[in-house]
Structures are given as structure tokens and as C-alpha cells.
Amino acid sequence: MAGKSGDEEKMKIGITCYPTYGGSGAVATELGLGLARRGHEVHFISYAQPFRLTQFIDGVYFHEVEVNRYPLFEYPPYSLALAVTMHEVTRREGLDLLHVHYAIPHATAGWIARDMLRAAGGDVKLVTTLHGTDITLVGQDPSYRSITRFSIEKSDRLTAVSDWLRDRTHRDFECDRCAIDVIPNFVDPDVYDRERYRGRHRLARPGEKVVMHISNFRAVKRIPDLIEMFARIRREVPARLVLVGDGPERQRAEELAAELGISGAVVFLGKFDSVADLLANADLFLLPSEQESFGLVALEAQASGVPVVGSSGTGLDEVIEDGATGYLHPVGSVDAMARSAVSLLTDGALWTGFSREARRRAVEHFALDRIVPRYEALYRNVLGLDDAPGVSAA
Ligand code: GMT
């Protein structure tokens, strides 16, 4: 262990995640920073510095994975280079635990690193957090399915970010007995705070409502539904659709907006590391995804006092309280979603109630200070530092 402060054992934790845009990398980084604030030593191991790790923080270190690009390699083997760096950093720094976010290829690299250590008489525990498409999409691809299943079975502990994802993992991998602790994603309510940033940006013309969507613009987000929905909203309410992020569906979004004659009311802002200031200036957030294991950005919107309209039958059911902090409708129900959006944008009293409830729900159920200790408790349990039976009910 890294040392002692009071009665608490401090741990040395390696965290591996995708370092660029995306909810799993954001959660992994905020978790690492939260753990460091609680006195633990945190080592990020990835091919680039996580995008939310913007300055030096005491107790936080970054180890870059170097991938040799030998001409013979049409596909440089990143997973192997990652396993080697995880093994080296664990040995050198005396890490207690490796916590990987997104199973592919991180859980695989993690068990290789752990088994290399064990072969030399050492040990490290491996915790894998499942984030969504590592199970439901990429993890089901025949090229990756068997290694994903094998790697998650090899982990010392598995967590999922929602009950929805836990159940999908049991179903899709036919592993009824895979023990998975659900620890939801979280936000820092001091960062996502409407009061702090309100009025900083003028995202729409006077009298127009700001309808926002933030994503990586992949097919799973159902971007055409979003544009169709906004076209219906625009018929009833003066509004502007502010799109944040970038990805493969962006061009289709531009084309559809032009076809529907609403290009002038749709603004593409591009990618930003931090979106708290943008969300604080939105009136409504739309997330009509095909699948969403959790929908971190919907939680960030709620913390910013922004009601959300999105897809039911996904992890959003656990994040949004339907009829209180937003409205959820079955995937593809563009008309119903648009009607809900219009009701929120045209009824001031309804909107104010939803906005307050959204903030309250985010703070009461998903604040960083509530969730980081649950990971901490899980680590202690995996390391045999307590007698706690588990953390699901924490
Ligand atoms: O969407 C992805 O393919 C990747 C992943 C990510 O890195 O953002 O998103 C998933 O993890 C997030 C963080 O836990 C969740 O908030 C997203 O709902 C989830 N995406 C999907 O399930 C589609």
C-alpha cells in the first residue's frame, strides 16, 4: 500500500481508459482525480494523456504507452504494448490494483500484465468497468466476442455503470453467474452548475430556446431522429439546435437539416474538452440514442438544471426520472419525443419544476462525493482490506 493517513490504508491504483473524447475516459479520469484527492496514488496508463487531465495534480501520474511502428506491422499491436507498460508500471511503482475502463482491449491487456507479474511471484488485482458498447456492440462482433468474454471472466472484479448494462452483459455473454457490481457514473455538481456559467454564451437569438445535443455523432446516437425531432419542435417554438462534438454522422445531420429547411437554425460547434459552460446555457437536452448504457452527458445536463428528452428501454431509465427530470419514449418515437420537448419549452412552470428536480436528482444520487467512495470500498474489498460483502447496495 502507498502509505497510511489516519486509519485509512492508501492504495496505489493504475487506471487505463480511452484518453480522448468519450464518457468512459471522462469517468475514468474524474475517478482517478477523486481518488487522488482522497489521498491515493493514481497512475494513468494509456497512449495519450486523458483529455480531462489538464494540469499536474499531486499524487497523479501519467505513463504513455509507446507503440513501435515497425514496417512489418500493418496493425501495430497496441494491446501488447499496453500490457507491457501496465506490467512495468505495476512492478516499478508497486501498484496494488489495475482498474481498466472499457473491456476491449483494456481487460485483455490487464490480465496479461497481471499474469506476467504472477509468473514472477508478484501480484496485482484487476478490476474491469464495463461501459456499454464494449459489451453490446464491439464486444458482440465475432472478431472480439470470445476474447472479451474470456477477459472479463479473468478480471478479479467487474463493475457496470447501470443495471441495464449488467443485465445485458449477463444476457449477451450468457454468463448468468458473472458477478457484476453496479456503480453508476457520477458528476461534480460544482463543475456542472447552471448558476456559475449562466449568461456566459449567447447560443441563440433573443426569444429563441436553446436545444442541445452533445455526442460523438456515431450511428448509435440516431442523429437523423434528432434532426427530425428538432424540425417538429421548430414548427411550434422559436429555437436553435446547438450540436457539440463531431463524428461520422455529422455530415448526414447537415444534409438532413438542409433537406428539412432548418439549416439556419442548426449550429455545429465542434469538439470541446469541457462542456459545463455550454450545458448551463441550454434549455433542453436531446438524447434519442438506439442504445445508451448510462448516458453520462444526460447526467451532466441534469446537474446543469437542463431537462432531458431521450430513449426509454436504455440505461437512461436509471438516470432520468421520466415525467420529473425529463421525458423518455421508446427508441425512434420522434413524434412523442418532439411533443414532450415542445411541452417543456412552452410551459415555463413545468420547465422550472423539471430543471430544479433534475439538479436535485443529479446531486442526491450521482454526485462524485457519493460514488467515488463506492469504488474505493470495492478496491478495499478486492484487496482483502475489509470484510465488506460487496458494494451494490451501498
Ligand atoms: O459509446 C461508446 O461507444 C463508448 C462509451 C464512451 O467511452 O463514451 O460510451 C459508453 O460509456 C459511457 C460512460 O460510461 C456511457 O455514459 C454511455 O452511455 C455509453 N455509450 C453507450 O452505451 C452507447
Q: Is the pLDDT of residue 389 over 70?
A: no
Q: Residue 292: name the closest of 339, 226, 222, 393 by CA.
A: 222
Cα(337)–Cα(312) distance, integer angstroms:
11
Read off the DSSP letter of residue 191. T
Atom of ligand 1 nearest to the CA of 22: 8
Q: What is the pLDDT of residues 144-161, one digit of tens each?
A: 999 999 999 999 999 999
pLDDT at 3: 47
Task: List b or e across 234-262, with b for residues whose CB sees 16 or more CB atoms inside 10 angstroms.
Answer: beebebbbbbbbebebbeebeebbeebeb
Longest dimension (CA), the chain: 68
Site to substitute for ligand 1 among 222, 293, 297, most atoms within 8 A of C-beta? 293
List the residue whose alpha carbon is closest to atom 11 of ligand 1: 131
List the residue whose alpha carbon is closest to atom 17 of ligand 1: 295
Q: What phi and psi, each to the nearest 5 degrees, are found at residue 373?
A: -60, -25
Residue that is written with C-alpha cell 497523479 in the block: 60
Beta bridge partner(s), residue 310: 287, 328
Mean residue pLDDT across the chain:
94
Cα(291)–Cα(331) distance, integer angstroms:
8
DSSP string, 286-324: EE--S--SS-HHHHHHHHTT--EEEEESSTHHHHS-BTT
Cα(77)–Cα(344) distance, integer angstroms:
50
List the residue whose alpha carbon is closest to atom 23 of ligand 1: 292
Of the ranges 44-48, 87-91, 124-128, 271-275, which one carries the lowest mean pLDDT score? Answer: 271-275
pLDDT at 54: 83
Give the chain's domains with CATH numbers: 3-186+367-382 (3.40.50.2000), 194-366 (3.40.50.2000)
Q: What is the pLDDT of residues 99-126, one digit of tens each?
A: 999 999 999 999 999 999 999 999 999 9
pLDDT at 4: 45
Mean pLDDT of the 134-150 span: 94
Cα(262)–Cα(99) distance, integer angstroms:
45
pLDDT at 41: 98
pLDDT at 5: 46
Residue 263's CB is within 10 A of a number of other CB atoms, namely 13
% pLDDT > 90, the chain: 88
Q: With contact defined as beta carbons under 8 Å apart, do 250 and 258 qualify? A: no
Residues 6+ apart with CB under 8 A from 39: 5, 8, 10, 59
Taking phi over 0 as left and psi of -120 to 50 as alpha, with beta for the rest, 391 belongs to alpha
Residues with CB under 6 A from ligand 1: 18, 22-25, 27, 131-133, 161, 185, 220, 291-296, 315
% pLDDT > 70, the chain: 95
pLDDT at 388: 52
DSSP string, 253-277: HHHHHHHTT-GGGEEEEE--S--HH
Pairing of strands 125-130, 284-287: unpaired
Q: Is the pLDDT of residue 219 over 90?
A: yes
pLDDT at 179: 93
Q: Which residue has the higher pLDDT, 108 or 390?
A: 108
